[in-house]
A and B are shown apart, each in its own frame.
Chain A
């Protein structure tokens, strides 16, 4: 059974020609777009900070400075913290960047490991001139997206879903046309319909899998960028700095991609019953 399935999948892939191959690549890209829009719901947006504070990676700490500190004192504090062995990196953010008007500036500190966060929090909290310290454990946030963005994403989702289904139907029809003689022979010789259809469904799932993996790679590339440059993305795609959120979105996208690919495959497989692929119709 598996041997026959693999044989037929190989034969089906061998029947891919330039036109059908191009359309199937377009299908992969459309599924990718669908998944990217889906992921955007969870990764884009600004954090709801009122209660929880800003979004931070597990190794990050935000230290809010007193407005009374002079630039020289801030400079001195910056240099002092940078020398600590548990501190991997420290950035100074202006209050305007995070709309924290009550603070006199913010240090975004990245520790060498998540275990270094707790002692560092304590040390920073005891320093005069630092009014508040926030770490990731306190800052897993919900993201807020504006209504127009939300509507735009929903429309994009619907359009990409419909477009990928239409392209898949057209692409599979093209592919099956170059496999028509084989399908007719299978029908004549008594090969079960499900045996003919399973490789087509598998090809759809393969398209979904490729699209999901592409998306996961893209999300992780953005994640690594966001972690190394949090100040650049905090206001637009705060979800990207949270590893847990990124992992969840990746897994959900993989699942959704496989389901989408499966649906597309079923759509393609339903074509084998049409007159075009029968010797007698």
Chain B
């Protein structure tokens, strides 16, 4: 199985010298579904930000889709971001309807109106949100917000999905539902890496779990 993420000797510190990540080694194969489990402030969001080419790396090597993120030009970094579906922690939708939220992203990525609408509808159908197309995204319930976030992440057909705390603010039923949804998305061939502080829903059983604590990875 080919590797989609390869992290070696990764270190990261804040501007005031606090070590966030220390000597991280991580390998993710294409088509895997992984849960990155760790307490608050363990460095999960930073690691995901680094993998998504949103934070410039300091020390170590990160290969995503075979590309060394540290050596990417600005243009190549943008190209790489397009191949990664990324749902950041505390995702806030735009003050537009659900459909227009997804279409906005697709239009920004160069899709024409009809093409964007087609892709947006397909993505919203995959996350079972078609009943809320005309609803304002800011009025959605937490679970529906996560669904919208997922639709935004997968709408441009990425190969890698990075999710930062998608289960926060959800009740156990909501967590299970999102986890099942992720499993379905994963079955379509996507590699899914989900960072969470836990507890993991039962639907996550059988998938690989990586622990991140004190800036270090433990499997």
Q: How far is the CA of A187 from the CA of B79 in the complex (A)?
A: 11
Residues of A within 8 A of B (CB): 1, 3-4, 7-8, 11, 181-182, 185-193, 195, 278-280
Per-residue contact bits, chain B 34-63, to A (CB 8 Å; 1 contact, 0 not)? 000000000000000100101100000000
Per-residue contact bits, chain B 92-103, to A (CB 8 Å; 1 contact, 0 not)? 101100000000
- Write out the residue numbers on chain B whose beta carbons fall within 8 Å of the beta carbon of A4: 107-110
Which of B80, B108, B152, B156 is the one whose CB lies under 8 Å from A8? Answer: B108
Q: A181-B94, A280-B49 are in contact. Are A7 and B81 (CB under 8 A)?
A: no
- Write out the residue numbers on chain B whose beta carbons fall within 8 Å of the beta carbon of A8: 107-108
Given contacts A187-B54, A189-B81, list 20 more A-B pairs with CB under 8 A.
A3-B110, A4-B108, A4-B109, A4-B110, A7-B107, A7-B108, A8-B107, A11-B104, A182-B104, A186-B105, A189-B156, A190-B78, A190-B80, A190-B82, A190-B84, A193-B78, A279-B54, A280-B49, A280-B54, A280-B55
- Write out the residue numbers on chain B whose beta carbons fall within 8 Å of the beta carbon of A278: 54
Please count how many residues in chain B sit with their CB below 8 Å of the partner chain's CB atoms. Answer: 28
Interchain CB contact under 8 A, B88 and A186: no
- Write out the residue numbers on chain A whose beta carbons fall within 8 Å of the beta carbon of B94: 181-182, 185
Interchain CB contact under 8 A, B82 and A189: yes
Interchain CB contact under 8 A, B110 and A185: no
Secondary structure dominating the interface of A: helix
- Write out the residue numbers on chain A whose beta carbons fall within 8 Å of the beta carbon of B92: 181
A-B contact pairs, 13 of them (CB 8 A): A1-B110, A4-B110, A181-B95, A182-B94, A185-B108, A188-B54, A189-B81, A189-B109, A190-B81, A190-B82, A190-B83, A195-B108, A280-B49
Q: How far is the CB of B192 from chain A (nearest CB, A)?
A: 17
- Write out the residue numbers on chain B whose beta carbons fall within 8 Å of the beta carbon of A186: 105, 108
- Write out the residue numbers on chain A whose beta carbons fall within 8 Å of the beta carbon of B55: 280
- Write out the residue numbers on chain A whose beta carbons fall within 8 Å of the beta carbon of B152: 185, 189
Q: How far is the CB of B43 from chain A (nearest CB, A)?
A: 13
Q: How far is the CB of B14 from chain A (nearest CB, A)?
A: 12
Q: How far is the CA of A190 from the CA of B112 in the complex (A)?
A: 17
Question: Can you name the residue of chain A whose Cβ is closest to the Cβ of B81?
Answer: A190
Interchain CB contact under 8 A, A190 and B88: no
- Write out the residue numbers on chain B whose beta carbons fall within 8 Å of the beta carbon of A188: 52, 54, 81, 86, 88
Interchain CB contact under 8 A, B104 and A191: no
Find the residue from A8, A186, A188 having the highest chain B CB count within 10 A. Answer: A188
Question: Can you name the residue of chain A whose Cβ is closest to the Cβ of B156?
Answer: A189
Per-residue contact bits, chain B 143-167, to A (CB 8 Å; 1 contact, 0 not)? 0000000001000100000000000
Interchain CB contact under 8 A, B104 and A185: yes
Question: Can you name the residue of chain A whose Cβ is closest to the Cβ of B75?
Answer: A192
Q: A181-B94, A280-B49 are in contact. Are A191 and B54 (CB under 8 A)?
A: no
Q: How far is the CB of B35 from chain A (nearest CB, A)?
A: 21
Q: How far is the CA of A186 from the CA of B82 in the complex (A)?
A: 10
Question: Can you name the residue of chain A whose Cβ is closest to the Cβ of B116?
Answer: A7
- Write out the residue numbers on chain A whose beta carbons fall within 8 Å of the beta carbon of B110: 1, 3-4
Q: How far is the CB of A84 from chain B (nearest CB, A)?
A: 66
Q: A181-B92, A280-B49 are in contact. Are A190 and B104 (CB under 8 A)?
A: no
- Write out the residue numbers on chain B whose beta carbons fall within 8 Å of the beta carbon of A11: 104
Q: How far is the CA of A191 from the CA of B152 in the complex (A)?
A: 14
- Write out the residue numbers on chain A whose beta carbons fall within 8 Å of the beta carbon of B54: 187-188, 278-280
Q: How far is the CA of A185 from the CA of B110 in the complex (A)?
A: 14
Q: How far is the CA of A279 from the CA of B74 in the complex (A)?
A: 17
Q: How far is the CA of A279 from the CA of B107 in the complex (A)?
A: 20
Interchain CB contact under 8 A, B88 and A279: yes
Q: How far is the CA of A7 from the CA of B94 in the complex (A)?
A: 16
